Structure 1
Amino acid sequence: MTSSDRIAALAAFFSCSPEEAARVDSATRLVHYRHKAILAHQGDPGAKLWIVLEGRAQLQIIGVDGQTKLLAAHGPGELFGAFPHERIVISDVVAQTGLSVLEIPTAKMTVLLQEEARIGSGLAKILGRQYNAVLDRMAARITLTANGRVYAELLHEAGEKGEIAPPPVIAALALSAQTTRETGSRAINALERRGIIRRDDKRLEILSRGLLEELVI
């Protein structure tokens, strides 16, 4: 990804001018992580933010039953990390897929927000969307069946394009849906048998969004 690509993406994320986005870009460092790479461990000192350009990251914690639980997940246009102050990392941060992020020290972001009002306004909108996503996931956990959560997560990751490329890792998808890998695998296989989705090595494509939405129960 070129510098101009990053600046264009940041301008879209923060709803700011290219000049303001360039200030953010100059304060960051572009980093690529492989699938399952660990960005930070629970208990580490936290002094940076990550802005997601491509891929997805999961914030994972170990529950009292010893099982891995999903705290949150973040994709393109979202950010996570220590904010507004440095703090201890409360979860493991894991690359769900290949992940490209812009890393910025918390202190530098604080300075940018003080100097660039539009960046602060854009950040507030991003955090608002992420807050709503967390509430949606909590509501799904309470009201939906395990299969329903898998299908809801599939719709969320596919977005308006109706496809996920490369196809999602079933274990990661199941974790996002707060269920087991076996349940996630059975749910996805059922969709394939019914012709609701098509999946190969390159992508997963939703063929009938309406039928899939009807299964989110």
Structure 2
Amino acid sequence: MRMTGAEAQFFASIPPFDILSPEERAKVGAVSVEKHFRKGETIFEEGLPARTVWIVKEGRVHLEKTHSNGTVSTLCVMTGGELLCCLPALDRGGYPATAIAKEPTTLIGIPSDSFSRLMADTPALSARIVSTLCKCLRGVEERARSQAYDSAEKRVGNVLLMMAKKFGPEIPLTREDFAALSGLTVETTIRMTSRLKEHKLLSSNGKGTLKLDITRLRAHIDSL
């Protein structure tokens, strides 16, 4: 569905597009489309040509990587206002991961060519986008280092704290989600979350949401 001028104001509320002039945002809105995805629907697949840069308007998207041994890990969890894999707009490569809608999700799509031209014409926007990419890559690198050297309990704890930065103290992710983010089996993840519950560092509401005591959890993880 093509965006209207009113819907283009969406860009005024989210970084990095908030630095654009009203005229520039209107141009972006004119070439953008809004698309809805059902829970579990694939938005794009790893390796396919990246013809669109997607922004999450509503919902939640996981970027997943399939490894040579068949296991799947979650690289990033993206929510409202966040860009999905804008890297291909810079290097003209394919999508580096597969994107899955984990709940009913609405995305705004910008053609990659239009996005690249916008970056070339707006140095300040380019700098903001590169900064966003660096932040994402730094998070992935920190998780990779944790998976290589930390205990299972610390790996799960670090993922919980990372997700708390995005969702706050109540995190709506499943144990399978945490396993994919931690690089652990579901069984090990369950054992580690149970251990943290025994320490009264988190609790479950029975509806798939974990509630954290962030301050005490951070202190506990730092002590491991």
Cα distance in 1 between the residues matched to 2:166 and 2:76: 18
Aligned to 1:83, the other structure's residue is in SS state: helix
**Residue of structure 2 equivalent to 1:39:** 43
Which amino acid counterpart does residue 91 of structure 1 have in structure 2? A
Taking the TM superposition and a 5 Å limit, the aligned residue runs for 1:32-71 are 32-70=36-74
CA displacement at 1:63 relative to structure 2:
2.4
Equivalent in 185, 210, 221 of residue 215 of structure 1: 221
Which amino acid counterpart does residue 216 of structure 2 have in structure 1? G
Which amino acid counterpart does residue 139 of structure 2 have in structure 1? A
Total equivalences in the alignment: 213
Cα distance in 1 between the residues matched to 2:178 and 2:105: 16
Aligned to 1:30, the other structure's residue is in SS state: strand
**Residue of structure 1 equivalent to 2:3:** none
Is residue 132 from structure 1 mapped to residue 135 from structure 2 by the alignment?
no
Cα distance in 1 between the residues matched to 2:105 and 2:166: 21
Cα distance in 2 between the residues matched to 1:84 and 1:160: 26
Tell me the TM-score normalized by structure 2.
0.79
1:182-214 CA distance string (max 9 Å, x none): 122222233333321232227432125223442
Taking the TM superposition and a 5 Å limit, the aligned residue runs for 1:36-115 are 36-70=40-74, 72-76=75-79, 77-81=82-86, 82-115=88-121
Q: Give 5+ residue unaligned stretches, structure 2.
A: 1-5
Is residue 149 from structure 1 mapped to residue 152 from structure 2 by the alignment?
no
CA displacement at 1:16 relative to structure 2:
1.0
**Residue of structure 2 equivalent to 1:164:** 170
CA displacement at 1:3 relative to structure 2:
2.9
Tell me the TM-score normalized by structure 1.
0.81
Cα distance in 2 between the residues matched to 1:52 and 1:158: 19
Is residue 121 from structure 1 mapped to residue 124 from structure 2 by the alignment?
no
Cα distance in 1 between the residues matched to 2:167 and 2:42: 29
Alpha carbon RMSD of aligned pairs, Å?
2.8
Quick one: structure 1 residues 44 and 215, their matched pair in 2 at CA, closer, same or farther if it must change by over 3 Å? same
Cα distance in 2 between the residues matched to 1:98 and 1:209: 32
CA displacement at 1:24 relative to structure 2:
3.5
Is residue 186 from structure 1 mapped to residue 191 from structure 2 by the alignment?
yes
Aligned to 2:110, the other structure's residue is in SS state: strand
32-41 vs 121-130, which moves further: 32-41
CA displacement at 1:141 relative to structure 2:
1.6
CA displacement at 1:130 relative to structure 2:
1.2
Which amino acid counterpart does residue 7 of structure 2 have in structure 1? S
